[in-house]
Amino acid sequence: MRSSLQGLRFALGVVAVGCTAILGAARAAAQGGEPQYFAIRGATVVPVSGPRLENATVIISRGVIKAVSKDATIPDEAWLIEGKGLIVYPGFIDSFTDVGIPPAPAPAGGEGVARPQPPVSHGPEDRPGATPWRSAADEASLSDKRVETWRSAGFTAVISAPKGGMFPGQAALLNLGGERNGDMVVKSPVAIPISLQPVGNFSSFPGSLMGSLAYVRQVWLDTDWSTKSQAIYEKNPRGVARPRYDRTDEALADALEDHALVLIPANNATQIRRAFELADRWHVNAVLYGCQMSYEVANEIAAKKLPVLVDLKWPEADKDADPDEVPSLNTLRFRDRAPSSPAALAKAGVKFAFYSGAITAPKDMLKAAKKSIDAGLSPDAAIRAFTLTPAEMFGVADRLGSIENGKIANLVIADGDIFDEKTKIKFVFVDGRKFTVREPEKPKDPPKGDLTGKWKLSYTTPEGAEDATADIVMAGDGSLSGTITSTRGTANIISGYLSVDKFSFTINIPIEGSPADVLFTGTFDGTTMKGSLSVQGFETDFTGTKPGVRATIAGGAR
């Protein structure tokens, strides 16, 4: 019993730390009984690098595409998949995310334990918010439950990078499958993401946007100086004071030497134009990310010949916004026109790819891309932005991004057009390994009400009362997605539904080094949630209320 209480105490103390679930290696090993040869016969094939092929066959041998044609010879040892009525796409790539990198577990000790604070920074020499030595390749793990979630939505690879700070770490291209964590790494490093969000406050450098810009520029100058001075010293060290070792400079210099791209944030027109100047001033191989206002400056981006990563989390009104607050005309115009940015970029000849941004349900990326198609982007260009274009940007087009002989067998097999809401993904191949996508069973009864919005969740642990915040999105069929957040971090809702007035949703958190599901179940009366949460066989009650909404209860309102 004591062990269960300790497990519950730890679980609730780190609710929303992150999704670190399913023992991916074990699940991948379960695929190991399948042959290493496959033939998808009689399907429609969308190579991306060439015209669509009807009634074609794709041969896979030991993780590699061996043939794509109408008359391909099927090996006797191949596992045959009848492709009639199916469409085969290259595996999709999420071009900027942290999927595949589980969050670090929260320090033990609970809320009452003081956490060490970083020292006050007085200048760039203190290197605040800089951890460029962190590598997605080193931290990649199949234990991140989002690996399976993204893969089931057709994403077979990601450009993944650590989060936190202004130089959070080096991005790697990860395949979303394998038997061991190292199997995920396709190429590393591929990019150095930068954030211009100030760290610290006005009493600690850098505490403002101006400070952030000055700091990043100083880091690049220091890296250049360190590289040159080290080269001079190595050539003739006698009689010369050796250069000081700096971990930040060393890591950045090594990544740049490996031709890693530098990702610069820029979402509105002003930020995009500022990014032009930063890329020139920093003398780096830059890619802009965000770029939802590209519809205003697409031709300027084309003139600079800079590639772009487009955030698919389109701007929208806060679901719990004050109804009396009237948004500005510029805000309304931005929300309306943002999905037209990819079409504007395509028309201007700008190379662009898509990434998930703040999207927590990967299927929503395809829905967001469909909005761009409705706003003028061609479906072929949309597919390319998920496949061959990011492969070209990050230097892996020789092995990923299209269906061609000799490339890694990352494939998506669907029963219709990938942007049609009724289309179901049937199979996904990652490194030539077949994964069958099974849709979760949905409740038969439609939902009564809507759980969409921000909720305050209250519950009692053995250590006392605690709160968390749920940001829930409900689809028309009652399925739930979103996040649960506490002071320690954020966890994705990995599955959930509302049927009539009954709900259920699950998050996954690490408990003593192993992933564990936390299940929330209960009833919804239109303004409040009431039920229980369970973890590792132990339960406790919880309630959910919408901040600012008066709850209706039996006997009247309060």
Q: Give residues with Cβ within 8 angstroms of 264, minimum separation 6.
A: 194, 275, 278, 279, 286, 287, 288, 289
What are the structure tokens assigned to 545, written together?
């209320």
Domain boundary among 380, 410, 431: 431
Tell me if 483 is assigned to some domain. yes
Residues 485 and 523 occupy one common structural domain: yes
Tell me if 61 is assigned to some domain. yes
Residues 492 and 543 occupy one common structural domain: yes
DSSP 381: H
Residue 389 pLDDT exceeds 50: yes
Tell me if 224 is assigned to some domain. no
Tell me if 496 is assigned to some domain. yes
pLDDT of residue 511: 60
pLDDT of residue 506: 86
Residues 427 and 448 occupy one common structural domain: no
CA dihedral 442, 443, 448, 454 (to 10 degrees): -50
DSSP 283: T
Residues 540 and 450 occupy one common structural domain: yes
Residue 401 pLDDT exceeds 90: yes
- Domain CATH code at residue 477: 2.40.128.120
Residues 19 and 50 occupy one common structural domain: no
pLDDT of residue 440: 64
Tell me if 98 is assigned to some domain. no
What are the structure tokens assigned to 179, written together?
């038997």
Residues 504 and 538 occupy one common structural domain: yes
Residues 498 and 457 occupy one common structural domain: yes
Residues 482 and 522 occupy one common structural domain: yes
Q: Give per-residue pLDDT as tens, 290-330.
A: 999 999 999 999 999 999 999 999 998 876 666 777 888 88
Residue that wins the pLDDT comparison between 156 and 443: 156
Residues 447 and 411 occupy one common structural domain: no
- Domain CATH code at residue 66: 2.30.40.10
Counting the structural domains of the chain, the total is 2
pLDDT of residue 119: 56
Residues 494 and 405 occupy one common structural domain: no
Is the distance from CB of 509 to CB of 14 less than 8 angstroms?
yes
Tell me if 465 is assigned to some domain. yes
**Strands 453-461 and 502-511, sheet pairing:** unpaired
d(CA 518, CA 539): 10
Domain range for 16 is 2-23+443-549
CA dihedral 293, 295, 301, 307 (to 10 degrees): 70
Question: Could you give phi then psi for residue 373, rounded to 5 degrees?
Answer: -65, -45
d(CA 239, CA 79): 68
Tell me if 495 is assigned to some domain. yes
Q: Give per-residue pLDDT as tens, 215-235.
A: 888 888 888 888 888 888 888
Residue 1 pLDDT exceeds 90: no
Q: What's the whole-number mean pLDDT along residues 158-172?
A: 93
Q: Give per-residue pLDDT as tens, 327-350.
A: 888 889 999 999 999 999 999 999
Residues 447 and 426 occupy one common structural domain: no
Residues 457 and 527 occupy one common structural domain: yes
What percent helix, strand, coil does the chain show, rounded to 5?
25, 30, 40
Instruction: Judge if pTM exceeds 0.85.
Output: no
The alpha-helical segments, DSSP class H, found in 283-387 are 294-304, 329-337, 341-348, 363-374, 379-386
Residue 61 pLDDT exceeds 50: yes
Tell me if 503 is assigned to some domain. yes
**Strands 480-486 and 489-492, sheet pairing:** antiparallel
